[in-house]
Amino acid sequence: MSGPCRNCGSDRLEPILSLGPMPLANALLTSDQLDQPEPHYPLELASCGVCRLIQITESVPPETMFREYAYFSSVSDAFVEHARQVANRLAAERGLDGSSLVLEVASNDGYLLQHYARAGIPVLGIDPARNIAEAATVRGIPTMPEFFGLELARQLRSEGRLADVVHANNVLAHVPDLHGVVTGIAHILKPGGIAVIETPYVRDMVERLEFDTIYHEHLFYFSLSAMRDVFARDGLAIVDVERIPMHGGSLRVFATHDGAAETTLAVDALLAEEAELGVSTAAYYRDFAERVDTLRVELKGLLAELKADGHRIAAYGAAAKGAILLNAFGIGRETIAFVADRSPHKQERYMPGVHLPIAPPERLLQEMPEETLLLAWNFADEILAQQASYRQRGGRFIIPIPKPIVV
């Protein structure tokens, strides 16, 4: 496997896991597209032998993946509440008011910025998905339909738009020009301002076997050690960190201009933990592929037993991770009847690769499949609560990660 590493340029990329050719995980299909050729791209996870940043080896052009997007963050009540809490916290801690500016990179449909706006704090969203940026603007959240980087940051700075707070949730993993985005954040941040960045934590991915979070949109898989080095190169220092449960386990880091604040004990403690575990060594990832293969055998075996007993099985969550799990494990129409999803933007479409139809959640009650494979396992508590009626009538959910269990 060859490089170069997107971070340091090294050609020493060491393989961790290969899932083979995969469709784009968020490229939901219309009925007219089912008979058309579907692009597939290699999906391989590797570790750089020099800087140890975990990454996939294949880059798909961002224009292909992000100009039209089916994921609207506001569909998840839990995610909106998560955003409300952090917005209220930052507004209070930073003393934000009508003279402040909060900017979000990859702001989606305004799920986070809406909470600042309601408090009278000026906001600006930046999101390359034109359909989502338009939806956010209609909701009263001014949103630029652009890719964020140093060039756009310079433009905004020249217009006098510097941010007191910059949010970047679940975006750093997605950007090929990692340094351009981080430098852009440093450029747009006011002196004394703070950047709040959330990204899935590679340690949780490995320890909880969350292989289905690997897809073409996710170019990078960060440890705190790797993030610290990337940020330092671009003039930002990580001054605080929190581990949060969102998306199966994430890091929330707080960064300022280098030297603008002291580092907390939480940063030092987590860096020490990573060093002890060897998160920056190849050995930490050595058996990951074997464990994924064991999970495949266990899950497919469970589904085969249920089908042999005459059970009808559905799935819940037309999420990217669901597309990866189904395609990587070869689970399709022979096993799953349909995929239920709450988002109207996904209903009446089809899952990439396996072409399973996507239906409203009400179909679970209408057809009462004995089991439903929970593809969006990262929102398990929320979905299980929403589907209380289905469960009360005898329906069961299969949670596949990290080990298949029936609830």
Per DSSP, the residues of 222-236 read B-HHHHHHHHHHTTE
152 found inside a domain: yes
* Closest C-alpha among 162, 174, 276, 254 to residue 221: 174
d(CA 357, CA 351): 7
Q: At 368, list the tokens.
A: 């009462």
Q: Are residues 91 and 230 in the same domain?
A: yes
pLDDT at 72: 64
Look at the block and give the residue holding tokens 């909106």. 80
Q: Which amino acid is at 401?
A: I
Q: Are residues 202 and 269 in the same domain?
A: yes
* Closest C-alpha among 299, 146, 126, 281 to residue 211: 299
Which one-letter DSSP state was computed for residue 201?
A: B
Range of the domain at 332: 288-406
Instruction: Verify cis geometry, omega within 30 degrees of 0, for the bond prior to 4.
Output: yes
Confidence of residue 73 (pLDDT cuts 50, 70, 90): low
Q: Are residues 328 and 388 in the same domain?
A: yes
Last residue of a domain, one of 253, 285, 317: 285
* Closest C-alpha among 174, 229, 163 to residue 199: 174
138 found inside a domain: yes
178 found inside a domain: yes
CA atoms within 13 A on the CB side of 244: 19
Q: Are residues 278 and 293 in the same domain?
A: no
Q: Are residues 219 and 338 in the same domain?
A: no
Cα torsion 123, 128, 130, 131 to 10°: value is: -80
pLDDT at 150: 95
pLDDT at 248: 80
Q: Higher confidence at residue 1 or residue 3?
A: 3
| Average pLDDT, integer, range 107-136 | 94
Q: Are residues 274 and 296 in the same domain?
A: no
Last residue of a domain, one of 250, 285, 320: 285
Which residues, in sequence order, are CB contacts of 308 under 8 Å at separation 6+?
none
| Average pLDDT, integer, range 112-138 | 94
Confidence of residue 385 (pLDDT cuts 50, 70, 90): very high
Could you tell me if 257 and 244 are in contact, meaning their C-beta atoms sit under 8 angstroms apart?
no
Q: Quick count: other Cβ atoms within 10 Å of Cβ 153? A: 26
54: enclosing H helix or E strand? strand 54-56
Confidence of residue 67 (pLDDT cuts 50, 70, 90): low
51 found inside a domain: no
Taking only the tens place, the pLDDT of each residue in 173-221 is: 988 899 999 999 999 999 999 999 999 999 999 999 999 999 998 999 9
Report strand pairing: 13-23 vs 40-48. antiparallel
d(CA 178, CA 197): 13
CATH number at residue 322: 3.40.50.720
Q: How many folded domains does the chain comprise?
A: 2
Q: Are residues 99 and 233 in the same domain?
A: yes
Confidence of residue 1 (pLDDT cuts 50, 70, 90): very low
* Cα–Cα distance list, 253 to 40, 237, 240, 266, 327 (Å): 34, 10, 6, 10, 33
Q: Quick count: other Cβ atoms within 10 Å of Cβ 170? A: 20
pLDDT at 272: 97
CATH number at residue 183: 3.40.50.150
Taking only the tens place, the pLDDT of each residue in 215-241 is: 998 999 999 999 999 999 999 999 999
31 found inside a domain: no
| Average pLDDT, integer, range 319-339 | 97
206 found inside a domain: yes
pLDDT at 212: 96
Q: Which amino acid is at 1?
A: M
Q: Higher confidence at residue 63 or residue 309?
A: 309
Residue 368, SS3?
A: coil
Taking only the tens place, the pLDDT of each residue in 25-60 is: 999 999 999 999 999 999 999 999 898 899 999 888
- Is 90 exceeded by the pLDDT of residue 71? no
360 found inside a domain: yes
Q: Higher confidence at residue 365 or residue 283?
A: 365
- Is 60 exceeded by the pLDDT of residue 146? yes
Q: Are residues 294 and 178 in the same domain?
A: no
Taking only the tens place, the pLDDT of each residue in 299-314 is: 999 999 999 999 999 9
376: enclosing H helix or E strand? none
Q: Are residues 218 and 353 in the same domain?
A: no
- Is 90 exceeded by the pLDDT of residue 64? no
pLDDT at 367: 97
Q: Are residues 259 and 204 in the same domain?
A: yes
CA atoms within 13 A on the CB side of 347: 11
Confidence of residue 65 (pLDDT cuts 50, 70, 90): low
Q: Are residues 324 and 269 in the same domain?
A: no
pLDDT at 247: 76
d(CA 147, CA 185): 13
d(CA 154, CA 141): 22
Last residue of a domain, one of 232, 252, 285: 285
Phi, psi of 61 (to 5 degrees): -55, 130
Q: Are residues 245 and 276 in the same domain?
A: yes
Look at the block and give the residue holding tokens 């961790």. 16
64 found inside a domain: no
